[in-house]
Structure 1
Amino acid sequence: MYTERNSSYNSAPLCTFNAPLFLRYVGTSVVVLGLLGNFLSILVFSRKTLRSRSCSIYFLALSVSDVHVLLGYTIETLLSYGFNSQLLSYPLMCKLIIFLIYASTDVSNYLLTLAAIDRCILVSNYSVRFRFCRKSTAKLAVLIVVLVFSLINSHILIGFHVDETGSCVTMNTTYSSFYTNYYDSYIDIVKTVLLPFLIIFICNIFIIFKYTRRIHFSMAKISSKRKSRRRREKDRQLTWFLLSTSILFVILSLPSEINDFIRPYLSSNFQIVYFCQIRACATMLILIHQINHASHFYVYTLTGPIFRKEFQRLICLSPKQPRKKDFLVHLQQPSLTLNVSPQYDLDTHQINNSRIPHSSNSSAYVSFQASI
């Protein structure tokens, strides 16, 4: 894919569709909005309220990986073909950027897969969820995914080089044949799209099935523990994040991979005759693929009230909610003699009721209930 696209752009005839101009404006907008959104997602998922969940660790790592995907796209496609800035003519940049594109794309897709597995295990009734759905396990899984796909794509660091014309191409005939006919077609589409899609699809079907069975029971059973309700609400919204990003992953990523799979089998004569149409199609599909990595923040904002709330606190610097530690310190004050009661939802009109005895202990109890 990469070698043919290089030569095609360099020897481009005049076409009705101006791909460089399209990339210059639309591609730049996608990259700028995507980088901004991913950096904001990193800040929001790093907040204490969200980072306590294992799935949030995967979404945090996904945002970091998406930043790397967009940076690789910016250098390899946007700057090269939109602004005619050939940074890939440097040998080190040639190897690193192509490696970054493949490795970070794989990492992003499998982090989303891990998030799907995490949610699937969480909604199940198996005891394994207490071992797998933890922050420490999530951090270890992220590290393993990064290492594994860095090793799988490490051959790119050896197989690519800058030729005499300054183009970043495959090094020799043997590797070029392997890369074009096998790795960038069969291996890449299975590894990058089909396998993650299959796992995510199965997990999402299981999650939806579980939630539809529990919805009536959940509405009928209202827990009195506020902390437990907040925890379940976070889990529910993280699950919606997963479902929405999974749908985007399939819709926006699969067309580009299918195009990469088909293009090597097109005859040379066909590619010459329909060059402008093929280039326009490839440009659009690559940009659509990048929208998948650029849109996650906006999907989270639209689908998650908790994410929006944390984002508002982040940008407005709103005061923090009273912590449990402050509550315990308040209990330990020597001036208060309290008979701790589990009934913390005392109505305001009951506090102001004149029939309450005006003893020191009662005043302290009422004062404490009002502060809550």
Structure 2
Amino acid sequence: MSSPSEVAFITYINNVSAQINQYLSIFIFLFGTVGNILNILVLSQRSFRSNSCATLFLGSSIANFIAIITGLTTRMLSGWAVDLTNTNRVLCKLRAFVLNVARPVALWLILLAGIDRWLLSSPNIRYRQMSSLKNAQRSIIITLILSILLFSHIIYCYEPNLINAPLKCYGVTITCRLATDLSLMFMTIFFPLLFMLIFGLMTINNVRYSRNRTRPGDISMITMQGPPSTSRTTEQQQRNKIDDQLLMMLLVQVLLLFIFALPLGVQKLYSTITTNRVSSQAQVAIDNFAYNFVLLLNFIANGMPFYIYTLVGGNVFRKELQKMFATARQKICRL
């Protein structure tokens, strides 16, 4: 039987967890939904439509938006209204399935954007040709299908009204929880982040190689051959500028994903290791608090891309954003 001090501690931890869930969720929901909507609008502009990396960023932003809407709406409203996903079987399964499909899609598309930048920076022309809008669109479709297949077990596994679980709508058996946790841990977090790091370093190496390969003699040879067409040069410079700024946006985003997404993977690893451990009520309360906190950190990762792109995306992204606002202002003034 728990002592009065332990009961008070458990009550305190549960209250703190509930407050963080309720109020931090509101903040993440607001900055995440606004940011992703603006991201979708900017990346849909004409200057980005033919860019394969920007297309992958656009797909990732849509997946992030869906993840935030499905994951945070019920948490945000939990203190003021009844969460039907905790009690209704259909809503429980539907929400869990959509959320767990959207999460890996958002992260895998960032990984694919990293692979696209590596291909584009490669000295091998065959690799550079693989970086195309058509391949990016195919990758988005394949990623969505694989994510649906990977988390299809959730439709069978998840049930509402659970008591001894981190969430009331959760995997009903240990096997179901292990399947979901291992899929999330390795396929959604650890492996994508690892490959992001690998391809990011390889891309930086390719960029350094290409810069070192350009020598004064090469420039003089180009000069002797005569000046290139002005319009073609300007267009190529614009493309190179967009490519460089997209690479910077990608590298910063990968760094922040390590900070905000990796803790959830670590928590899932800990949860898997301690599955068969007999825990006290105080330990269960602490584990649930840790799970809810790192889960919210993961939602921050879903909401931050727009702010990364605005700060480190250079003039290209900010100019498109300003142009979009100016166009919207003109249309409003005409009404």
State the number of aligned residues.
302
Residues 84 and 276 of structure 1: is their aligned pair in 2 closer, same or farther, counting only changes over 3 Å?
A: farther
CA–CA distance in structure 2, aligned partners of residues 219 and 240 of structure 1:
24
- Once the two structures are overlaid, the 10-residue window that deviates more, 142-151 or 293-302, is 142-151
User: Offset at 1:84?
Assistant: 5.1
Summarize the alignment of residues 136-147 of structure 1 with structure 2, pairs less than 5 Å apart: 136-147=134-145
What SS does the aligned partner of 2:296 have?
helix
User: Is 1:111–2:109 an aligned residue pair?
Assistant: yes
Mapped to 1, the partners of 2:294 and 2:190 lie a distance apart of: 17
Instruction: Work out whether 1:198 is the aligned partner of 2:194.
Output: yes
**What does residue 271 of structure 2 align with?**
263
Match of 2:34 in 1: 36
Distance 1:184 1:91 in 2: 18
Q: Secondary structure at the match of 2:12?
A: coil
Residue deviations 1:73-101, cap 9 Å, x none?
Answer: 11453334x44531212222111111112
The alignment status of 1:314 with 2:324, answered yes or no, reads yes
TM-score (norm 1): 0.74
Alignment of 1:1-372 (within 5 A): 13-15=10-12, 18-75=16-73, 77-80=75-78, 82-83=79-80, 85-88=82-85, 89-162=87-160, 167-170=168-171, 176-181=173-178, 183-215=179-211, 225-266=233-274, 270-305=279-314, 306-317=316-327
- Counterpart CA distance in 2 for 1:47 and 1:164 is 45
Q: Among all aligned residue pairs of Structure 1 and Structure 2, give the percentage whose two residues are the same amino acid.
A: 23
Q: Counterpart amino acid of 2:138? A: L
Corresponding letter in the other structure for 2:200: N
- The normalised TM-score by structure 2 is 0.81
Provide the C-alpha distance between the structure 2 equivalents of 1:90 and 1:310, rounded to a whole number of angstroms. 43
The separation in 2 between residues aligned to 1:291 and 1:52, in whole angstroms, is: 29
Residues 252 and 216 of structure 1, relative CA distance in 2, 3 Å threshold:
same
Write the deviation string for residues 148-200 of structure 1: whole angstroms up to 9, x where unpaired: 111221121122234599953445xxxx232223x133333111112212221
CA distances 1:284-340 after superposition (whole Å, capped 9, x unpaired): 211111110100000000001211111011112299xxxxxxxxxxxxxxxxxxxxx
Q: How many angstroms apart in 2 are the aligned matches of 1:287 and 1:85? A: 20
RMSD: 2.7
- How far apart are the structure 2 equivalents of 1:63 and 1:164? 32
Q: Deviations over 1:106-155 (max 9, x none)?
A: 11111111101100000002233454222122111101111111122112
Residue 37 of structure 1: how far off its partner (Å): 0.3
CA distance in 1, matches of 2:288, 2:171: 21
SS in 1 for 2:96: helix
Residue 230 of structure 1 aligns to which amino acid in structure 2?
Q
Q: 1:218 to 1:238 in 2, by over 3 A?
A: farther
Q: Tell me, which stretches of 5 or more residues in structure 2 are unaligned?
A: 1-8, 223-227, 330-335
The structural deviation recorded for 1:202 is: 1.3
| Distance verdict in 2 for CA 1:145–1:66, change over 3 Å | same
Contact 1:249 1:292 (8 Å CA) reproduced = yes
Partner of 1:361: none
Q: In 2 relative to 1, CA 269–76 (structure 1 residues): closer, same or farther, beyond 3 Å?
A: farther
Return the alpha-carbon distance in structure 2 between the equivalents of residues 248 and 281 of structure 1: 20
AA partner of residue 297 (structure 1): F
Residue 303 of structure 2 aligns with an amino acid whose one-letter code is A
Checking the alignment, whether the CA contact within 8 Å between 1:122 and 1:129 is kept in structure 2 is yes
Structure of higher CA gyration radius:
1
Matching residue's letter, 1:100 = V
More RCO (CA 8 Å, sep 6+): 2
Q: 2 CA distance for matches of 1:37 and 1:62? A: 12
Instruction: Give the aligned residue type for 1:168.
Output: C
Counterpart CA distance in 2 for 1:219 and 1:72 is 53
- 2:11 match: secondary structure: coil
Moved more, 284-293 or 194-203: 194-203
Do 2:150 and 2:183's aligned partners in 1 also have CA atoms closer than 8 Å?
no
Q: What is the one-letter code of the residue matched to 2:194?
A: L
